[in-house]
């Protein structure tokens, strides 16, 4: 994706704040603390705790930008301007920018006539809308979904009936998108279902026109519908299953364990809240290597103990298991999983070659 030229004052100030992410956190999120590359605190209003984490520096792979934050409890996310707005209870964007300029010791803009404050759009996307989108999508067949997943080294799509293809899926542009962004793109549509198999939501991954990568938009992944407790399911539920945050994470694991049933929770917060299928005895949790992943594992373990379910963590060598698959290949992925799986599960589920 071409580098975006930052022309708006908000964009320029957001970048300046990100360049000073730790100083911003120490000032506005003073009840938190640094832990590695992250600043941990309870929430965006500076409550003590560990649910919200702010990335203090860009990740080595370039996927995570400095100054971006996620709240694992609420699944909210944003940048440091949002932190300032919440912590100082700013009522308008202008108030937020003025506070940020004061913090950064930047000159204030000249007075201007007040413009009507544009409220953020309310979240949209009901379960009914999700079901309509799922019904309008097509089987993946030989579509761009296969092309895209193959670019992520995911080629075995056994048991992937939850995945569909939409050739022209509507994309609602955000303030972070280019002004001339396309209104529709090809998309991978993943059905989110409950324990009875009813569609309650969908997850959309917008794709480049040739399927070689994600679409060059600000937010190529979005979910809608009733997500809490539900997930994208691969295979039929059984006594031994695996669960994780991302669709590509779970599909990567199924490249070497194609018959182990899997659930993608779509985020750390939703992973922590997945409902346990009847008869489940052991759940492998493929956690991402970040504070939200650690928090999700802890919550799942606490919920599983009274239900008599054994939780076994699966930890990637890199950020997630798709990173591992792409960087190291199948054989190395198998070797890394073999020492983490119970012996009987390794013998039954792992495929070699």
188, two tokens: 């991978």
Q: Is 331 exposed, middle or buried (CB count within 10 Å of its CB: 0-12, 13-18, 19+)?
A: exposed
Span 285-305, average pLDDT:
89
pLDDT in tens, 189-233: 999 999 999 999 999 999 999 999 999 999 999 998 888 899 999
Contact 253/346 with Cβ under 8 angstroms? no
Task: Report yes or no: 335 and 350 within 8 Å, Cβ to Cβ.
Answer: no
Q: Are strands 282-286 and 240-244 parallel, antiparallel or unpaired?
A: parallel
> 222 forms bridges with which residues in the sheet?
204
Domain positions in the chain are 9-104, 127-349
Q: How does the average pLDDT of the chain come out, rounded?
A: 88
Q: Concatenated DSSP letters for 244-283?
A: ES-HHHHHHHHTT-TTS-EEE-SSHHHHHTPPPPTT--EE
pTM of the model: 0.68
β-strands 38-41, 69-71 pairing: unpaired
- Residue 176: pLDDT band by 50, 70, 90 thresholds? confident
Beta strands 282-286 and 310-314: pairing type?
parallel
Average pLDDT over residues 295-313: 94
Give the residue-averaged pLDDT of 233-251: 96
Alpha-carbon distances, residue 325 vs 92, 160, 234, 350 (angstroms): 45, 18, 19, 14
CA 198 to CA 288: how far, in whole Å?
A: 27
Q: Above 70 in pLDDT, residue 3?
A: no
Residue 287's CB is within 10 A of a number of other CB atoms, namely 25
Task: Give the tens place of pLDDT for each residue, 42-70.
Answer: 888 888 888 888 989 886 655 578 898 88
Please tell me which residue, 19 or 59, carries the higher pLDDT value: 19
Confidence of residue 119 (pLDDT cuts 50, 70, 90): very low
Fold of 127-349: Dna Topoisomerase Vi A Subunit; Chain: A, domain 2 (3.40.1360)
Residue 306 confidence (pLDDT) above 90: yes
Assign domain 9-104 to its CATH architecture. Alpha-Beta Complex (3.90)
Q: Could you count the other beta carbons within 10 Å of the beta carbon of residue 183? A: 9
Mean pLDDT score, 32-37: 85
DSSP for residue 214 = B
pLDDT > 90 in the chain, percent: 56
Q: Beta strands of the chain (E only): which ranges?
A: 33-35, 38-41, 52-55, 69-71, 77-78, 138-139, 163-170, 184-193, 199-206, 221-225, 232-234, 240-244, 262-264, 282-286, 310-314
Block residue for tokens 């202008």: 94
What confidence score (pLDDT) does residue 123 get? 41
Question: Is 110 a residue whose pLDDT tops 50?
Answer: yes
């Amino acid at each position: 994706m071409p580098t975006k030229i930052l022309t708006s004052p908000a964009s320029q100030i957001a970048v300046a704040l990100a360049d000073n992410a730790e100083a911003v956190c120490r000032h506005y999120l003073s009840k938190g603390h640094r832990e590695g590359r992250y600043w941990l605190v309870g929430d965006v209003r500076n409550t003590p705790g560990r649910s919200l984490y702010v990335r203090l520096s860009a990740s080595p792979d370039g996927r995570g930008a400095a100054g971006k934050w996620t709240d694992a409890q609420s699944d909210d996310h944003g940048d440091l301007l949002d932190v300032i707005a919440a912590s100082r209870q700013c009522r308008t964007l202008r108030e937020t920018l003025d506070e940020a300029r004061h913090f950064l010791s930047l000159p204030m803009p000249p007075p201007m006539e007040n413009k009507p404050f544009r409220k953020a759009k309310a979240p949209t996307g009901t379960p009914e809308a999700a079901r309509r989108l799922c019904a309008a999508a097509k089987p993946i067949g030989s579509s761009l979904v296969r092309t895209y997943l193959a670019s992520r080294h995911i080629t075995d799509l056994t048991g992937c009936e939850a995945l569909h293809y939409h050739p022209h899926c509507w994309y609602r542009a955000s303030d972070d998108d280019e002004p001339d962004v396309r209104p529709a793109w090809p998309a991978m549509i993943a059905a989110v279902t409950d324990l009875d198999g009813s569609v309650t939501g969908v997850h959309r991954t917008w794709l480049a026109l040739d399927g070689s990568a994600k679409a060059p938009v600000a937010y190529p992944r979005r979910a809608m519908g009733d997500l809490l407790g539900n997930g994208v399911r691969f295979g039929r539920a059984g006594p031994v299953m695996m669960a994780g945050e991302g669709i590509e994470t779970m599909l990567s694991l199924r490249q070497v364990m194609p018959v182990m049933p899997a659930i993608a929770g779509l985020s750390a917060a939703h992973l922590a809240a997945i409902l346990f299928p009847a008869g489940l005895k052991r759940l492998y949790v493929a956690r991402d290597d970040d504070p939200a992943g650690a928090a999700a594992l802890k919550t799942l373990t606490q919920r599983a103990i009274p239900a008599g379910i054994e939780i076994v963590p699966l930890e990637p060598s890199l950020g997630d298991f798709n990173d591992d698959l792409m960087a190291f290949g199948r054989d190395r992925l198998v070797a890394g999983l073999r020492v983490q799986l119970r012996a009987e599960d390794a013998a039954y589920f792992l495929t070699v070659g």
